[in-house]
Amino acid sequence: MVSRSAAASRAVGVRASVADLKHFMCYFCGDMFKNKDEFNLHKFNHQVEDIAYQVAQNEFVSSCLLITCILAFSVEVFSE
């Protein structure tokens, strides 16, 4: 059953308030949740994954720069 406030909101073309929401869709992967706490935990897990990915990528870039510097130095040393 639709609550009275939600029906009234649709009638005048106004967005339903957050309190009227019954389903939550993840904007990262599209999963649907009925429980807001589970949805918030799911979003938190996505954020942790993003941070872990960024840290791993930074470490990869740093090691690539280090290897490039070592190669450039060794080419310079051995070419003399």
- Number of chain positions touching Zn ion (CB under 5 A): 4
What distances in angstroms separate CA 78 from CA 10, 40, 62, one per listed residue? 75, 57, 24
**Whether the Cβ atoms of residue 49 and residue 57 lie closer than 8 Å to each other:** no
Among 29, 32, 75, 77, binds Zn ion (CB under 5 A): 29
Among 6, 9, 20, 26, binds Zn ion (CB under 5 A): 26
DSSP 6-41: HHHHHHTTPPPPGGG---EE-TTT--EES-HHHHHH
> Per CB under 5 A, does 33 bind Zn ion?
no
State yes or no: residue 73 binds Zn ion (CB under 5 A).
no
Choose which of 22, 28, 36, 54 interacts with Zn ion (CB under 5 A): 28
The enclosing H or E element of 53 equals helix 36-78
CB of 77 to Zn ion, least distance (A): 51
Binding site for Zn ion (CB under 5 A): 26, 28-29, 31
